[in-house]
Amino acid sequence: NAGVTQTPKFRILKIGQSMTLQCAQDMNHNYMYWYRQDPGMGLKLIYYSVGAGITDKGEVPNGYNVSRSTTEDFPLRLELAAPSQTSVYFCASSQTLNTGELFFGEGSRLTVL
């Protein structure tokens, strides 16, 4: 059982480039989330989804876009990368929205130079 899988694990971008962070879960969870974690800080929610075709903004959505065409996949798109987007990105999923466990991926470390 793979759980939540993120790719790539590491990536270096130049300012202005774009890329997509991939996230897939095999637990048939309706709820999926993208967080970013800056050094020494907690996690901040970027976007979340309550099901295929439904997404909504979290605390820090600027500079990012998401889509949810299937239950399994929840890619995060970075447009026009900026140094402020240098961070570790975590994808997560949950069976319920309000209680229970968030299952996290291993993270994607992104550096924008």
Residues interacting with another protein, by CB under 8 A? 4, 31, 33, 35, 40-45, 48, 50, 56, 58-59, 88, 90, 92, 94, 97-107
Report the residue number, 4 or 24, with the smaller CB distance to another protein.
Answer: 4
CB of 5 to another protein, least distance (A): 12
Q: Which of 110, 101, 90, 113 is nearest to 4 (CA)?
A: 90
Residue 57 CB neighbours (<10 A): 13
Query: Shortest CA distance to 25 belongs to which of 52, 44, 46?
Result: 52
Identity of the residue, 34 or 85, whose beta carbon is nearer to another protein in the bound complex: 34
Whose CA is closest to 23, among 34, 37, 38, 36? 34
Q: Which is nearer to another protein, 49 or 85 (CB)?
A: 49
User: Least distance (Å) from another protein to the CB of residue 16?
Assistant: 28
